Structures are given as C-alpha cells and as structure tokens.
Amino acid sequence: MQEQVQEVLNKLRPFLLRDGGDVELIDVDDEGIVLLRLMGACGNCPSSTITLKAGIERALMAEVPGVREIEQVF
C-alpha cells in the first residue's frame, strides 16, 4: 500500500511545488492510516488542513484501497 500512496503523492506533488510546498510520506500503518508531513510553504500555511483533508486525503482514499484516514505529522 505504501508504494501506491507514494504514486498518488507523486501525481499531486507538482501542484504543491507550484505553491512553494511539498509533501513527505512518513508511514502507512496496518489500519490504513497514512502519516504525512507538509513541507515548505504548505507546512505553515493556514489552509494546510484543507489541502490535506480536501485534496490529498480525498485523492488517496479514491485511488488506494484500504486508506482510511490521513494524519499530519509536524
């Protein structure tokens, strides 16, 4: 599952980079919880929660079977 998650993040990465940010995959646990770190401009952006939940989480849940939740690591 970790490889599938990374593939989806690689598709989303250009959009984050365009805004001066990036995303790092920390871990995917056995329960389908994905731990991510938003970096650069995304790390301290007031809209980072929206980016994480509305953008990244929605894409991962749609494209990777078994992903249940996204959690941000600081």
Round to whole Å and give the CA distance between 50 and 70: 12
Res 10: pLDDT: 97
* Residue-wise pLDDT tens digits, 14-67: 999 998 999 999 999 999 999 999 998 878 778 888 888 889 999 999 999 999
The two tokens of residue 36 are 């991510």
Tell me how far apart the 2 most distant CA atoms of the chain are, in Å: 32
Q: Is the pLDDT of residue 71 over 90?
A: yes
Round to whole Å and give the CA distance between 55 and 10: 13
- Would you put residue 26 in left (φ > 0), alpha (ψ -120 to 50) or beta? alpha
Range of the domain at 67: 2-72
Res 56: pLDDT: 94
CB 32 within 8 A of CB 67: yes
Output the pTM of the full model.
0.90
What's 61's domain CATH number?
A: 3.30.300.130
